[in-house]
Amino acid sequence: MPLHIHDTLRREKRLFTPRDASRVSLYVCGPTVYDYAHIGNARPPVVFDVLVRLLRRTYGADHVIYARNVTDVDDKINQKAAREGVPISEVTARYEAAYLADMALLNVSPPDIAPHVTDYIPAIVDQIQAIIDAGCAYAAEGHVLFDVSSYKNYGALSGRNLDDMIAGARVEVAPYKKNPHDFVLWKPSKADEPSWPSPWGEGRPGWHIECSAMIEQTLGLPIDIHGGGIDLVFPHHENEIAQGVCAHGHAHGDQAHDEYARYWMHNGFLTVDAEKMSKSIGNVLLLHDLVQAMPGEVVRWALLSAHYRQPLDWNQSLLDQSKKSLDRLYGALHRSSGIEALDLDPPADFLKSIEDDLNTPGAMASLFALSSEIERGMTAGDLDAVAQARGRLIACASILGVLQADPAAWLEGDVSDDLRVEVDSLLEQRAAARAAKDWPEADRIRDRLNELNVVVMDGPDGATWRMKG
Annotation: binding site for Zn(2+)? 29, 211, 236, 240
Which residues fall in the annotated binding site? 29, 211, 236, 240, 279
In 3D space, the residue among 373, 323, 308 whose CA is nearest the CA of residue 347 turns out to be 373
Q: Where are the beta strands (DSSP E) in 268-332?
A: 270-272, 312-314
Q: State which amino acid sits at residue 329.
A: L
Q: Binding of ligand AMP at residue 43 (CB under 6 A)?
A: yes
Q: Residue 31's binding partner, choosing from ligand AMP, Zn ion, none, with beta-carbon cut-off 5 to 8 A by kind?
A: ligand AMP
Q: How many residues does the chain have?
A: 469
Q: Binding of ligand AMP at residue 111 (CB under 6 A)?
A: no
- State the minimum distance, in angstroms, from the CB of residue 402 to ligand AMP: 20
Could you tell me which stretch among 18-26, 229-237, 288-296, 358-366 binds ligand AMP (CB under 6 A)?
Answer: 229-237
- Select 69 or 337, whichever has its Cβ closest to Zn ion: 69
Could you tell me which stretch among 118-126, 267-275, 409-417, 457-465 binds ligand AMP (CB under 6 A)?
Answer: 267-275
Q: Which of residues 64-123 bind Zn ion (CB under 5 A)?
A: none
Please pick, from the candidates 156, 269, 328, 369, the single residue that binds ligand AMP as defined by CB under 6 A.
269
**Residue 459 and residue 338 in contact, taking contact as beta carbons nearer than 8 Å:** yes
Task: For residues 96 and 119, give the distance between their C-alpha atoms in angstroms, rounded to a whole number.
Answer: 15
Task: For residues 355 and 358, give the distance between their C-alpha atoms in angstroms, rounded to a whole number.
Answer: 6
- State the minimum distance, in angstroms, from the CB of residue 206 to ligand AMP: 14
Task: For residues 418 and 143, give the distance between their C-alpha atoms in angstroms, rounded to a whole number.
Answer: 62
Contacts with ligand AMP, 199-228, as mask; x by CB under 6 A: -----------------------------x
Could you tell me which stretch among 210-218, 245-253, 274-282, 291-299 binds Zn ion (CB under 5 A)?
Answer: 210-218
Task: For residues 451 and 72, give the distance between their C-alpha atoms in angstroms, rounded to a whole number.
Answer: 53
HSE (CB half, 13 Å, CA atoms) of 468?
7
- Select 122 or 361, whichever has its Cβ closest to ligand AMP: 361
- State the minimum distance, in angstroms, from the CB of residue 302 to ligand AMP: 13
- CA 230-396-365 angle, 5° bins: 75
SS3 200: coil
- State the minimum distance, in angstroms, from the CB of residue 156 to Zn ion: 17
> How many other β-carbons are positioned within 10 Å of the β-carbon of residue 434?
15
**Residue 269 and residue 20 in contact, taking contact as beta carbons nearer than 8 Å:** no
- State the minimum distance, in angstroms, from the CB of residue 388 to ligand AMP: 37
Percent composition of the chain: helix, strand, coil (DSSP 3-state, to 5):
50, 15, 35
DSSP state of 34: S
- Select 228 or 296, whichever has its Cβ closest to ligand AMP: 228
- Select 211 or 304, whichever has its Cβ closest to Zn ion: 211
Please pick, from the candidates 5, 24, 26, 29, the single residue that binds Zn ion as defined by CB under 5 A.
29
Q: Under rule CB under 5 A, how many of the chain's residues touch Zn ion? A: 2
Burial of residue 77 (CB within 10 Å: 0-12, 13-18, 19+) is buried
Q: Binding of ligand AMP at residue 40 (CB under 6 A)?
A: yes
Which residues fall in the annotated binding site for ATP? 279
- Select 3 or 211, whichever has its Cβ closest to Zn ion: 211
> How many other β-carbons are positioned within 10 Å of the β-carbon of residue 37?
20
- Select 274 or 435, whichever has its Cβ closest to ligand AMP: 274
Contacts with Zn ion, 154-193, as mask; x by CB under 5 A: ----------------------------------------
DSSP state of 196: B
- State the minimum distance, in angstroms, from the CB of residue 51 to ligand AMP: 14
Please pick, from the candidates 47, 211, 225, 247, the single residue that binds Zn ion as defined by CB under 5 A.
211
SS3 270: strand
- Select 101 or 436, whichever has its Cβ closest to ligand AMP: 101
Pairing of strands 454-459, 462-467: antiparallel
Could you tell me which stretch among 105-113, 246-254, 262-270, 281-289 binds ligand AMP (CB under 6 A)?
Answer: 262-270
Q: State which amino acid sits at residue 34.
A: Y
Q: Give the contacts of 190 (CB within 8 A, at least 6 positions apart).
A: none
- Select 29 or 65, whichever has its Cβ closest to Zn ion: 29
Please pick, from the candidates 232, 351, 378, 400, the single residue that binds ligand AMP as defined by CB under 6 A.
232
- Select 121 or 270, whichever has its Cβ closest to ligand AMP: 270
How many H-runs (helices) and E-runs (strands) does the chain carry?
A: 16, 14
> How many other β-carbons are positioned within 10 Å of the β-carbon of residue 395?
20
Residues that bind Zn ion (CB under 5 A): 29, 211
